[in-house]
Each structure stands twice: as structure tokens, then as C-alpha cells.
């Protein structure tokens, strides 16, 4: 979770064949990523948003989720093998030997225990993924056991792209404040060299990386913060950037014709939605929330904003993810029905004013917000648009007194499970993180908790429970689910090694090379 704002992702299909071209302005052994956002949280126990680019280069997890359709489902990472007891309550992982953290400390079972214990204790970010873990036991230096409260797929959970990265216990003891100064110590192929806030992050090859180095590996990685869309496009075209994360939709046709650039739109596990605040007037009224859902021109968004790069959803879980309920009530675009619901709400016309917050640098978010604003005006609802940087609007949305009525959101899973959406976005939170609908429903909470507990022993039951939970969300109109989207990304055609895996929202630069 991520999470979660609109980002053009670098997890791509194998690079398309193209004409031979030069590397352009980028140095041969340096990979340059043009990003619309900076790192917000450096602590791997806390990070839960755009930090995934940095996390996946500097840190590693125990396991890796394979590309869907490939076997085996789970690949070795820092663990080389694993097994579970017959009752599903004990998982044993055998760890890779000879691995060092960037500070020279050895990676071992004690480090695994420290990381999981610290993440659980802090309870930040995606710590909820470890809810099933009762205890982590050190068997010996290279063997660790997870003792569970109830059966859970720990091999899959350990592959998560948030809150499952291994970091040195020595730096963990320095605390979040130390991390937030721009520090990172993992076992990954790249170590952090420098961070200029709101400017750039520089990574360099870790000489003692256990995977070794080839001449073709990139030895340096630079994340440049570039908030201007036109600048990112120019950097991509000129070769100053190898990948751009903020490409305007209207630039796609021209870039597709450029032999120096590859534009790809693979399917994903990502969806776009508007989280509706159920505690704030007037969206605390169910009929108003339903009216907003009927006022969205879903097909217009897919065709006119996304250029066909997505499909109309039928609920909170993308159709490509297991556990998706295809039999939910559909809020189609119907302004007459929306107008009638507004009238039935009983709210005076002069009180029908709401706000929509979204990332202002995203052309998609801006266009969709303006479309919805125009449609809502036709049914008597006045909309104030609140564009801004993600960090700012997220902080405001978490506090009820500063939250908008509607918060724009993009979501992708921490690991492949419906619970990532259902728990991460709508389970009751004492202090909001991503439950920006400020939704609280004990019946719903029990369904998603029971579903998560059932995943490890009875997947069919988990699906049934999750299906009921999805129905509650749709009936309560807690969000406008307006697009299941394809990833849309642009990279230099002289970069090879890309492959598409929706489990991760960024490729490992270590796997890439310049042709």
C-alpha cells in the first residue's frame, strides 16, 4: 500500500525491440529515474508510499513473488528455502549465508527477528501484514522460525514490497529520526550515497553484494525529483533520463513514434478511486455518497482521460486480483438518478458543497477531478478542487478536521492479497493512515479479519468472506471506484532487462542493463 498515489511504474514487460540508438546524455553505467515525488519516509518500518523505488534497490526481503503464471510462485530472496508445519502455525526459513549489510554487519536469523519485532512494535506503515505472527524464534545463525496465532501464508507475506525489507539491527537502534535524515542500510545491490531533499537521491554499487557484479550492471542509480511534466518528457526524449514517471497522457502518441523511447501499458493490480469521507458533512449522508457515485462518467474516464488504458471496475478489488467479487452493485453514470438521490437526501441546496483533494501534478487526477466537478454541478453539488503535493494532502486527509470530502487515491498491493485493499483502506483505524474515508464498521472489520485468518488454510472461505466485505463497501458507497488501470510507463529503448511483475511497482535496477 503504497502507497499510493498516481505513479507511472517501472515494472515492465521485456523491452521491445527497436532501432539501435546511443545512450544519449545518460552515462553508460548510470541509471537515471525522473520521479514526480521525493522519498517521504526513509525508515523501512514506516515507509508506505513512493519510497518503493529506493526500498527495492537498497533492501531485500526473505522471498520474492514470481511473475504471475510462472512457477514456482515464490522465489528465494534472503531465504534459500522454507517449510511449514502440518498445522500451518510454524514456518521455518533457511537463510542465505555470507550476506552482509551495507554497514558490514552480517545478515542472520537474529537480524530477521529484530526487524520483524521492531516493525510489529512500531505498528506503522504496512505493519499489519505481520498480524498473524505471535513470535519469531532464532533457531541458529541461519535458521529462523515464525510462530503464528493462526495459519497465514508467511512465504508470500515475506515477499511484500513494504514492511518486509531486512535492515541492519545496528541502524534500527538509531531510530526513525536517524533514518529520516536520509540514511539507509540494507543488503541490496545498491547503497545510499546522498540525498538532497526535493532534489535527488544517489545510490552506488555495494561492492560486497552477495549476488556479485557484472560489467553490464548499472553501478550508479540517480532518482531526480522533477515535478514538471514537460521537463520529464524532454529528459526522456533526450536521454537525460532513462525512465520518466510523470508522462502526460497527450504525450503518449508522440512518444510511441520515437524510436529512442519505449512506451508500454501492461495490465496491473492497481486501481484508481475517490475515497469519500463518511464522517464529514455532507458526505456523511449515504444518499449524497451514492449520488456522487452515479455522477462519475466511468467510460468517459477510461476513453477520454486514460486513452483506453484501463477498464471500469465493479468494486474495490481489481478484476485481475484473486478474491475480486464480480457480482457487486454497479454505479453506472446516471445523472438523473444522481439528482433524485440528492433531492432525497433532504440537504438544502445552499449546503451542498464538497471538496476534492488530489495530486496537482498528475494530469489524470486533474482531468478526472474536473470532469466530476462539472457533473456534480449539474446535480446541484458545488465542488472545491484542492490540488497539492501528495505529502501535504495526505497529512490533511488523515485528520478529520482538515480532511476533504473526497480524497483521490491510487492503490496497489503490498503483497498479492485482497486484504491489502480491504484492511489497508477501510478497516477501522484509531488514527487514520490510509482509511481516508474515516470508515468504521464492526461487521465489516470482522469479515476482513476472518478473511485474512482464513487465507492460510481455506482460500475459498477467505474469498467468500472478502466478497461479503466488498458488498458492504459498495452498498455504503465509501468510495467511487472509477478505473482498474494498466501501468503506463516510458523508458529509453536502449535499456534491457525489463520484465513485468505486478507484485512490485518498480523493477530492480540491478536486473537492467544498457544495450
Task: Supply the pLDDT for residue 25.
Answer: 53
Q: What is the pLDDT of residues 464-485, one digit of tens each?
A: 999 999 999 999 999 999 999 9
Question: Over 70: is that where the pLDDT of 303 sits?
Answer: yes
Query: How remote is the C-alpha of 443 from its chain's centroid?
Result: 27
Q: Which candidate, 50, 45, 55, places its Cα nearest to that of 127?
A: 45
Share of the chain above pLDDT 90, in %: 80
Determine contact, residues 310/483, Cβ cutoff 8 Å.
yes
Confidence at 498, pLDDT banded by 50, 70, 90: confident
Q: Considering only CA atoms, give the Rg of the chain.
A: 23
pLDDT given at position 11: 39
pLDDT in tens, 432-463: 999 999 999 999 999 999 999 898 889 999 99
360's CB contacts (< 8 A; 6+ apart) are 366, 387, 388, 389
pLDDT reported for residue 14: 32
Neighbours of 309 (CB within 10 A): 19
For residue 199, pLDDT over 60 is answered with yes
Nearest CA-CA partner of 472 in 422, 513, 435, 432: 422
- The Cα–Cα gap between 310 and 483 comes to 6
Does pLDDT of 6 surpass 70? no
Provide the 10 A C-beta neighbour count for residue 100.
16
Query: Do 418 and 473 meet the contact criterion of CB atoms below 8 Å apart?
Result: no
CB 52 within 8 A of CB 244: no
User: What local confidence, expressed as pLDDT, does residue 119 receive?
Assistant: 98
DSSP classification of residue 240: S
pLDDT exceeds cutoff 90 at 320: no
What is the CATH code for 1-36+196-266+489-515? 3.40.190.10
- State the average pLDDT over residues 297-303: 97
In tens, the pLDDT along 277-290 reads 999 999 999 999 99
pLDDT tens digits along 136-172? 999 999 999 999 999 999 999 999 999 999 999 999 9
> If you average pLDDT over every residue of the chain, what do you get?
92
Kindly state the average pLDDT of the residues 175-193. 97
Helix or strand holding residue 133 (H, E): strand 133-140
Instruction: Give the strand order in the sheet containing 143-148.
Output: 79-84, 90-95, 143-148, 133-140
Could you give the CA distance from residue 158 to residue 165 in angstroms, rounded to a whole number?
A: 8
pLDDT band at 18 (very low <50, low <70, confident <90, very high): very low
Number of other CB atoms surrounding residue 496 within 10 Å: 13
Is pLDDT above 90 for 355?
yes
User: What is the 8-class DSSP label of residue 105?
Assistant: P
Is 334:428 a contact under the CB 8 Å cutoff?
Answer: no
> How do 30-35 and 133-140 pair as beta strands?
unpaired
Dist. CA 78–CA 96, nearest whole Å: 5
C-alpha cell at 459: 482460500
pLDDT per position as a tens digit, 228-264:
889 999 999 999 999 998 787 788 889 999 999 998 7
Q: What confidence score (pLDDT) does residue 94 get?
A: 99
Omega cis (within 30) before 84: no
Looking at domain 63-172, which CATH architecture does it have?
Answer: Alpha-Beta Complex (3.90)
More confident residue, 13 or 179: 179
- How many C-alpha atoms does 212 have within 13 Å on its Cβ side? 2
pLDDT per position as a tens digit, 64-110: 999 887 899 999 999 999 999 999 999 999 999 999 999 999 999 99
CATH (residue range 268-486): 3.10.105.10
Q: What is the pLDDT of residue 225?
A: 93
Contacts of 466 (CB under 8 A, 6+ apart): 317, 323, 325, 418, 419, 422, 447, 448, 451
Closest to 288 measured CA to CA, from 478, 483, 481, 470: 478
pLDDT at residue 15 is higher than 60:
no
Per-residue pLDDT tens over the stretch 386-433: 999 998 999 999 999 999 999 999 999 989 999 999 999 999 999 999
Domain coordinates in residue numbering, the chain:
1-36+196-266+489-515, 63-172, 268-486
Q: Supply the pLDDT for residue 26.
A: 61
Amino acid at each position: 500500500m503504497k502507497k499510493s498515489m498516481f505513479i507511472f511504474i517501472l515494472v515492465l514487460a521485456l523491452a521491445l525491440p527497436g532501432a539501435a540508438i546511443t545512450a544519449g546524455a545518460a552515462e553508460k553505467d548510470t541509471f537515471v529515474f525522473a520521479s514526480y515525488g521525493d522519498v517521504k519516509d526513509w525508515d523501512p518500518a514506516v515507509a508506505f508510499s513512493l519510497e518503493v523505488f529506493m526500498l527495492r534497490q537498497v533492501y531485500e526481503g526473505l522471498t520474492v513473488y514470481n511473475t504471475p503464471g510462472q512457477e514456482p510462485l515464490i522465489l528465494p530472496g534472503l531465504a534459500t528455502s522454507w517449510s511449514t508445519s502440518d498445522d500451518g502455525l510454524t514456518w521455518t526459513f533457511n537463510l542465505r549465508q555470507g550476506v552482509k549489510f551495507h554497514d558490514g554487519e552480517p545478515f542472520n536469523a537474529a537480524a530477521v527477528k529484530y526487524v520483524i519485532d521492531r516493525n510489529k512494535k512500531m505498528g506503522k506503515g504496512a505493519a499489519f501484514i505481520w498480524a498473524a505472527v505471535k513470535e519469531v524464534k532464532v533457531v541458529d545463525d541461519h535458521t529462523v522460525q515464525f510462530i503464528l496465532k493462526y495459519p497465514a501464508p508467511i512465504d508470500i507475506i515475506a515477499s511484500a514490497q513494504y514492511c518486509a525489507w531486512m535492515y541492519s539491527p545496528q541502524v534500527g537502534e538509531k531510530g526513525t529520526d536517524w533514518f529520516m535524515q536520509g540514511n539507509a542500510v540494507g543488503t541490496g545491490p545498491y547503497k545510499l550515497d546522498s540525498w538532497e531533499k526535493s532534489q535527488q537521491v544517489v545510490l552506488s554499487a555495494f561492492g560486497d553484494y552477495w549476488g556479485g557484479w557484472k560489467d553490464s550492471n548499472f553501478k550508479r542509480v540517480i532518482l531526480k525529483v522533477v515535478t514538471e511534466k514537460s521537463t520529464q518528457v524532454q529528459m526522456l526524449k533526450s536521454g537525460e533520463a532513462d525512465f520518466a514517471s510523470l508522462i502526460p497522457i497527450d504525450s503518449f502518441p508522440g512518444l510511441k513514434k520515437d524510436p529512442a523511447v519505449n512506451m508500454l501499458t501492461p495490465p496491473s493490480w492497481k486501481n484508481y478511486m475517490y475515497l469519500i469521507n463518511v464522517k464529514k458533512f455532507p458526505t456523511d449522508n449515504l444518499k449524497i455518497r451514492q449520488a456522487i457515485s452515479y455522477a462519475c462518467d466511468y467510460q468517459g474516464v477510461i476513453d477520454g482521460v486514460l486513452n483506453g488504458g484501463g477498464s471500469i471496475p465493479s468494486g474495490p478489488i481489481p478484476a485481475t486480483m484473486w478474491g475480486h467479487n464480480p457480482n457487486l452493485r454497479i454505479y453506472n453514470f446516471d445523472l438523473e438518478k444522481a439528482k433524485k438521490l440528492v433531492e432525497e437526501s433532504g440537504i438544502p441546496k445552499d449546503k451542498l458543497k464538497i471538496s476534492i483533494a488530489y495530486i496537482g501534478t498528475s494530469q489524470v487526477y486533474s482531468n478526472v477531478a474536473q470532469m466530476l466537478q462539472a457533473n456534480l454541478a449539474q446535480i446541484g453539488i458545488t465542488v472545491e478542487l484542492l490540488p497539492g503535493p501528495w505529502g501535504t494532502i495526505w497529512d490533511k486527509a488523515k485528520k478529520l478536521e482538515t480532511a476533504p470530502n473526497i480524497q483521490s487515491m491510487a492503490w496497489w498491493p503490498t503483497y498479492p492479497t485482497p486484504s491489502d485493499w480491504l484492511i489497508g483502506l477501510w478497516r477501522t483505524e484509531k488514527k487514520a493512515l490510509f482509511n481516508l474515508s474515516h470508515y468504521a464498521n464492526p461487521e465489516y472489520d470482522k469479515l476482513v479479519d476472518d478473511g485474512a485468518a482464513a487465507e492460510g488454510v481455506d482460500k475459498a472461505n477467505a474469498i467468500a468472506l472478502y466478497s461479503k466485505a466488498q458488498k458492504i463497501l459498495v452498498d455504503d458507497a465509501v468510495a467511487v471506484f472509477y478505473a482498474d488501470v494498466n501501468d503506463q510507463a516510458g523508458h529509453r529503448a536502449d535499456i534491457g532487462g525489463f520484465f513485468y511483475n505486478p507484485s512490485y511497482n518498480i523493477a530492480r535496477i540491478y536486473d537492467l542493463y544498457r544495450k
